[in-house]
């Protein structure tokens, strides 16, 4: 009787211990299962040196989307849009151009380390941003991103009117939602034109300059000067043309910088000119946009030329993303490689944006690994195109990031 009574008293405690043991064993089993699954997923792990915290520039997100992995999913069905989207520039349409890995490019999914990156929902986006004007301002890499967004939205909303607002190179309004997206082409953001020495002489002539390009670092190019007052959301980029010797040859046709209509003396190199131009243009946008305008600056898109630059036999024939050590070989500033300007440009950009209300759209680090995602020889040029991106492709992920940060800003406000 006494033994039975003691057993009855201990029964709840024994039951609890038994439950805890079972839960613990199940937990271990689940963790082992997840670990095993992850080990069988081929991925490119990110190694970041000197990464820039997105929060520091007002993204408002606790997640650093620039850290993560590219995960391959052989069964993924990419239904956002396809090569039939007519806005895709011919050289970027890797599907129609029969690039061997065109279908594989979209099977790699960017997965941030500590949080998910949702895929853009086009219908939800159109509904959420009714009566909104969105402007992409920059070089052809921003057009790459603009076309990606257009094709994504066009797939679900066919009522589209083509027009060019505020001096844009191209633009479209989705009539059912009164949502406009436009692309404003500008190579340097600032105004530039050919310069030749005057017969009457001058300060630059006295220094021996005979010809080059006049770059007014405090004057926006006319293609976008009205854009800040028109658009509700702005996405800027620049960088690729600043270090293009085929255009601005340091000896034959150097960049000659002007400020307040006077030459900057002594003459400064392109990297110093870039930083000054960025500061001036950031102030210009601040003065000429509405207080509630949302402003993004996209970081530099990496090139992937190997074996030489574009005009010296460079190519990009890889069919899979790079490994971490391969990324460092291509982009480390210490090695001063063919594609080193990507991180140099970003350093100037970070510095210029420090005290601004621009939000940083950091796509560089995720993109450095995607040497497989350029048109390469399928671009139809005499040389490999290792600068622009195949569509569909990686700029779709840029737009996932853009919309995620944009939605986060809307929630806070």
Range scoring the smallest mean pLDDT among 4-18, 138-152, 231-245: 4-18
Domain presence at residue 33:
no
CATH of the domain at 153: 3.40.50.1110
Confidence of residue 17 (pLDDT cuts 50, 70, 90): low
Pick from 269, 166, 262: which is nearest to 221 by CA?
A: 166
| Mean pLDDT score, 288-315 | 90
Q: Tokens for 345, please give them.
A: 């440009």
Domain presence at residue 26:
no
Task: Say if residues 209 and 254 touch (Cβ distance below 8 Å).
Answer: yes
Q: Is the pLDDT of residue 290 over 70?
A: yes
| Mean pLDDT score, 139-144 | 98
pLDDT at 244: 84
Mutual angle of helices 140-154 and 394-412, in 10-degree steps:
80
Per-residue HEC secondary structure of the chain comes to: CHHHHHHHHHHHHHHHHHHHHHHHHHHHHHHHHHHHHHHCCCEEECCCCCCCCHHHHCCCCCCCCCCEEEEECCCCCCCCCCCCCCCCCHHHCCCCCCCCCHHHHCCEEEEECCCCCCCCCHHHHHHHCCCCEEEEEECHHHHHHHHHHHHHHHCCCCCEEECCHHHCCEEEEECCCCEEEEEEECCCCEEEEEEECCCCCCHHHHCCCCEEEEEEEEEECCCCCCHHHHCCEEEECCCHHHHCCCCCCCCCCCEEEEECCEECCCCCCHHHHHHHHHHHHHHHHHHHCCCCCEEEEECCCCCCCECCCCCCCCECCCCCCCCHHHHHHHHCCCCCCCCCHHHHHHHHHHHHHCCCCCEEECCHHHHCCCCCCCCEHHHCCCCCECCCCCCCCHHHHHHHHHHHHHHHHHHHC
| Mean pLDDT score, 356-385 | 94
| Mean pLDDT score, 362-373 | 96
Q: Measured between alpha carbons, how far is 303 from 1 in angstroms, rounded to an integer?
A: 84
pLDDT at 412: 54
Pick from 313, 298, 307: which is nearest to 146 by CA?
A: 298
Task: Say if residues 149 and 399 touch (Cβ distance below 8 Å).
Answer: yes
Domain presence at residue 7:
no
More confidently predicted of 330 and 370? 370
Q: Measured between alpha carbons, how far is 392 from 407 in angstroms, rounded to an integer?
A: 23
Q: Is the pLDDT of residue 34 over 70?
A: no
* Top mean-pLDDT range of 23-32, 284-293, 302-311: 284-293
pLDDT tens digits, residue range 164-175? 999 999 999 999
- In this prediction the pTM is 0.84
pLDDT at 268: 96
| Mean pLDDT score, 38-44 | 33
Domain presence at residue 132:
yes
pLDDT at 411: 56
Q: Determine the structural domain holding residue 298 and report its residue range.
A: 43-412
CA 236 to chain centre: 10
Domain presence at residue 24:
no
Range scoring the smallest mean pLDDT among 125-129, 182-186, 345-349, 377-381: 377-381
Confidence of residue 40 (pLDDT cuts 50, 70, 90): very low
pLDDT at 38: 33
pLDDT at 9: 52
Total domains present in the chain: 1
pLDDT tens digits, residue range 259-287? 999 999 999 999 999 999 999 999 999 99
Q: Measured between alpha carbons, how far is 229 from 216 in angstroms, rounded to an integer?
A: 21
| Mean pLDDT score, 384-390 | 96
Domain presence at residue 6:
no
| Mean pLDDT score, 321-346 | 84
Domain presence at residue 78:
yes
Task: Say if residues 353 and 57 touch (Cβ distance below 8 Å).
Answer: yes
Q: Is the pLDDT of residue 154 over 50?
A: yes
Domain presence at residue 28:
no
């Amino acid at each position: 009787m006494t033994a039975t009574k003691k057993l009855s008293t201990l029964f709840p405690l024994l039951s609890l211990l038994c439950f805890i043991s079972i839960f613990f064993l199940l937990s271990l089993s689940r963790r082992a299962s997840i670990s095993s699954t992850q080990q069988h997923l081929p991925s490119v792990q990110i190694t970041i040196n000197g990464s820039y915290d997105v929060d520091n520039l007002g993204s408002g997100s606790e997640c650093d989307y620039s850290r993560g992995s590219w995960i391959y999913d052989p069964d993924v069905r990419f239904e956002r849009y396809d090569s039939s989207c007519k806005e895709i520039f011919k050289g970027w349409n890797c599907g129609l151009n029969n690039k061997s890995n065109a279908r594989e490019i979209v099977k790699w999914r960017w997965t941030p380390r500590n949080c998910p990156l949702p895929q853009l929902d086009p219908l939800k986006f159109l509904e959420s941003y009714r009566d909104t004007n969105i402007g992409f301002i920059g070089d052809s890499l921003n057009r790459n991103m603009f076309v990606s967004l257009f094709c994504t939205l066009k797939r679900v909303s066919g009522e589209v009117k083509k027009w060019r607002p505020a001096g844009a190179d191209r633009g479209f309004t989705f009539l059912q939602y009164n949502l406009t997206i436009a692309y404003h082409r500008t190579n340097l953001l600032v105004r530039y034109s050919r310069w030749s020495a005057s017969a009457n002489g001058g300060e630059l002539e006295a220094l021996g300059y005979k010809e080059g390009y006049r770059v007014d670092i405090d004057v926006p190019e006319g293609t976008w000067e009205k854009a800040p007052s028109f658009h509700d959301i702005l996405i800027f980029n620049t960088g690729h043309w600043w270090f293009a010797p085929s255009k601005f040859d340091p000896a034959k046709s150097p960049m000659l910088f002007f400020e307040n209509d006077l030459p900057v003396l002594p003459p400064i190199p392109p990297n110093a000119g870039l930083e000054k131009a960025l500061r001036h243009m950031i102030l210009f946008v601040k003065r000429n946009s509405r207080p509630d305008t949302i402003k993004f600056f996209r970081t530099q898109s990496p090139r992937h030329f190997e074996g030489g630059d574009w005009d010296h036999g460079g190519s990009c024939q890889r069919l899979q993303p790079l490994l971490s050590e391969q990324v460092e070989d291509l982009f480390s500033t210490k090695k001063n490689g063919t594609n080193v300007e990507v991180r140099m440009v970003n350093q100037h950009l970070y510095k210029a944006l420090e005290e601004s209300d621009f939000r940083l759209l950091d796509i560089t680090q995720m993109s450095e690994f995607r040497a497989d995602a350029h048109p390469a020889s399928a671009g139809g040029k005499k040389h490999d195109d290792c600068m622009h991106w195949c569509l569909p492709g990686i700029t779709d992920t840029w737009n996932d990031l853009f919309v995620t940060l944009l939605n986060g800003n809307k929630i806070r406000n």
